[in-house]
Amino acid sequence: MSTLAIEESKVIWYRDYRWMIVFIMLLGAVINYLDRVNLSMANTTIRAEFGLTDIQVGFLLSAFMWPYALANLPAGWMIDKFGINKIFIWSLVLWSLATLAGGFAIGFFTMYVTRFILGITEAPFFIIGGKITQRYFNPKERGTASSIINLGPKLANGFAPPLLTFLIIYLGWRGMFITLGIAGLFVVLLWIKCYQKNDEKYVIPEYRTEKKEDTMYDGWALFNHPTTWWFNLGNIGSSYLFWLYFTWLPTYLIEERHLSLKSAGWATAIPFLAGVVGVPVGGYISDILIKRGMNVIRARIIPTVGGCLLAGITVIPVNYVNSINTVEILFTISTFAVSARVGVLWALVGDVSPKETVGIFGGIQNFANFMGGMLVPIGTGIILQYISNYNIVFIVSGIFCILASFCYAMIRRPILSEEIAVR
């Protein structure tokens, strides 16, 4: 076999391995989100069985969110310190066991503990995804790879209601929790079977250099860098609108537009399906721009800024429109546009941060992402309680998303290693 043929063969296997890992991550991302939303689907059944109050239900539904947001910060450091493989296995094993244990909960306290543990142990997953796309993919492919991994949540949100309802009907809510926990352990076995610990031959050339053991990095300098601040402010503003759809859209359609529960379910599914399409489209656009010679950061920023602007502009007039069909079109465009930024931003994590701190930076920006998500139920609840006006809800969320686009536009350059190195 000629040298050229050997090299081509290496490239084929090199690509096969990288994309195989990405698709395992996609499967893990689907399980990750199903484990998050399973309590919402079984909420009424669990509430009746345990005799929970409204306040207790509220605490259970929020038990995942805040430990997840906080755990992103140390999770990034742990991934950089101990590597992808160890943290992935331990994270997925523990969150699968937490989900499985939820099926044996006997009351409010035991269920709360399982959700709390779930929030902590799921935190490393998407940071690992960012690390993988940086480690194995060059900038021209990174947007697509990142978008595939981050397509998982959209796919999960699309088929979670019928799937989880089916499991509850035929297995009971406890059987649903146990089934999802076992599914997560299956992904662990798949990862162990496929992941190669000595993977240097698959790593892109610029990341094969040896780590400098004597180099330490200042976490505060990384957090306080202008690029990090613009990134985080953009995440908070765009995530506010993103999570508004997941937390309030069905309620709005039922209460304000007077749709039946069944009709509201279908009306909610259409924008979510548009989000499924939006995630890979954003990544594909950024990769195409890079292949055409555009600066990497600018190529990531264009679909991000454009998506946030379009999403904010189309949601502001929603409650002033009488036609439910027009409302559905506006929601669909907005969800598609705000979803286009998801995979692109995780690719941008690897583009703007030094390779030794990708995990830490990914944790910081995902913390900001969920800070925006945590503000939604609080902000929307306050507006509806004291003003009772959905117009304000959509105007505020639209303005936040438009402001986020300006923040993202301010990201101009990567963070240099010497800027955050401990001197």
What is the per-residue pLDDT across 237-248, written as a single tens digit (0 to 9) for each? 999 998 888 777
DSSP readout, 91-137? Answer: HHHHHHHHHHHHTT--SHHHHHHHHHHHHHHHTHHHHHHHHHHHHH-
CA atoms of 22 and 16, how far apart (whole Å): 10
- Tens-digit pLDDT profile for residues 72-98: 888 888 888 888 899 999 999 999 999
Residue count of the chain: 423
3-class DSSP assignment, residue 68: helix
Measured distance CA(351)–CA(206) in Å, rounded: 12
Which parts of the chain register pLDDT below 70?
A: 1-16, 54, 58, 206-215, 261-262, 423
Return the CATH architecture of domain 1-195. Up-down Bundle (1.20)
Q: What is the pLDDT of residues 173-196, one digit of tens each?
A: 899 999 999 999 999 999 998 888
pTM of the model: 0.76
In this structure, which topology does domain 219-414 adopt according to CATH?
Growth Hormone; Chain: A; (1.20.1250)
Among 73, 146, 81, 71, CA closest to 363: 73
Q: At 423, is the secondary structure helix, strand, or coil?
A: coil
The pLDDT value recorded for residue 54 is: 67
Share of the chain above pLDDT 90, in %: 37
pLDDT of residue 206: 66
Q: How many CB atoms lie within 10 A of CB 2?
A: 7
CA distance 185 to 89: 9
**For residues 88 and 122, what is the distance between their CA atoms, to the nearest angstrom?**
10
Q: Which two tokens stand for residue 124?
A: 């490393």
Instruction: Indicate if 219-414 has the same CATH topology as 1-195.
Output: yes
Helix, strand, coil percentages (3-state) for the chain, rounded to 5, are 85, 0, 15
Sorted by where each begins, the domain ranges of the chain are 1-195, 219-414
Q: Quote the Cα angle for 369-285-22, to 5°.
A: 65
